[in-house]
Amino acid sequence: MQPTLAELIALRQRVQAWPPPERAAGARAAQATAPVRGRGMDYAESRLYAQGDDARHIDWRVTARTGRTHTKVFHAERDRVTLLVADTAPSLYFGTRRCYKSVQAARAGALAAWAAERSGDRIAILRGSAGESVRPPAGGSRGALRALDALARWYAESPADDAGLDHALEHAARVSKPGARVLALVDPRSVEPVADARWRSLSAHHDAIAVLLVDPLELAPPLARVAFQSGARRVELDLADTGTRAHWQHAFADRLASARERLKHLGWRSLVLSTADAPEQVLGALLPRRREAS
């Protein structure tokens, strides 16, 4: 199973519809607003004047109405980059429910790219390989489409030149500027070999998020004998056997829990995305909630 560029492009509609509005009073509440406040061009709100505020931004209308000095606050001018880091480990090209983990990674990355486009970010993507491995930052739909093309290509099949997640994160640390959003699409088993310093160097200066791709079979195996095929190799495991099941638990569920705890300790946010889940779950970490006027 492979992701298609057409499918990834179509995901833009889901980003445009995200999230379901919540009810709130006021016409301005219907607009999505960035959490950052600063001295940009777009008016955000008025608040009480504080010592050190620029007198040129005093809101005289609100001041006259309330009898207390207020100053205008504006949306900060930003040129943020969203950098997607694509893990292309062979273990991602597997799945038993709906799709391969690699396909789900491509979908999550595409949604993140469209979310970045909606937020006005420039978009870049890279992977750890010796060949074609990076798309530099670009804005608007052009940047999103370049990222989607890379996702469709890179997650079509396991690359022969994969150099590992550590190589990809090292590259990300070199090319990203402070303040960027770094979203890593990773298999939980790829987390362990990467040194703490590598993870921490990115979270110290970036909004760092890891999407951990899993398959339902990994976390809840059946009490049965299961056969796996990889090329010409066939392996059978008796998952009803206590010892085999314990080994399976350690290899998947325990490793996932350990990866999440470690990433949290190192300053990363993480979310688990199963192949049975709706990929839109990633949008909750990337986009603000809209409000709807009552």
Give the pLDDT score at 24.
35
Residue count of the chain, please give it.
294
Listed in sequence order, the residues at least 6 apart from 267 whose beta carbon sits closer than 8 Å to its beta carbon are 199, 200, 203, 204, 208
Using the structure block, give the residue that is written with the tokens 């429910």: 97
- pTM above 0.85? no
30-59, pLDDT tens digit by residue?
A: 333 344 443 444 566 788 887 667 777 889
Tell me what the mean pLDDT of segment 99-119 comes to.
96
Give the pLDDT score at 35.
40
127-183, pLDDT tens digit by residue?
A: 988 666 899 999 999 999 999 999 999 999 988 888 899 999 999 999 998 889 999
* Mean confidence (pLDDT) of the chain: 85
4-13, 148-157, 218-227, range with the lowest pLDDT: 218-227
- Residue 251: name the closest of 273, 219, 211 by CA: 219
Q: How far is CA 245 from CA 29, 96, 192, 253, 258, in A?
A: 52, 18, 21, 11, 18
All CATH 3.40.50.410 domain ranges in the chain, comma separated: 5-15+81-289
Q: Which two tokens stand for residue 86?
A: 């694509």
**What's the pLDDT band for 200 if we cut at 50, 70, 90?**
very high
CB 284 within 8 A of CB 112: no
User: How far apart, in whole angstroms, are the C-alpha atoms of residue 111 and residue 211?
Assistant: 12
Answer whether residue 224 shows pLDDT above 50.
yes
Sign of the alpha-carbon torsion through 280, 282, 283, 288: positive
CB 148 within 8 A of CB 181: no
Three-state SS at 145: helix
Give the pLDDT score at 253.
93
Which tops the pLDDT comparison, 237 or 121? 121
Give the pLDDT score at 142.
93
Give the pLDDT score at 50.
74
Answer whether residue 256 shows pLDDT above 60.
yes
98-102, 165-169, 208-212, 222-226, range with the lowest pLDDT: 222-226
Answer whether residue 288 shows pLDDT above 90.
no
- Superfamily name with CATH number, domain 5-15+81-289: von Willebrand factor, type A domain (3.40.50.410)
CB 135 within 8 A of CB 126: yes
39-48, 60-69, 77-86, range with the lowest pLDDT: 39-48
**What's the pLDDT band for 289 if we cut at 50, 70, 90?**
low
Answer whether residue 93 shows pLDDT above 90.
yes
CB 126 within 8 A of CB 169: no
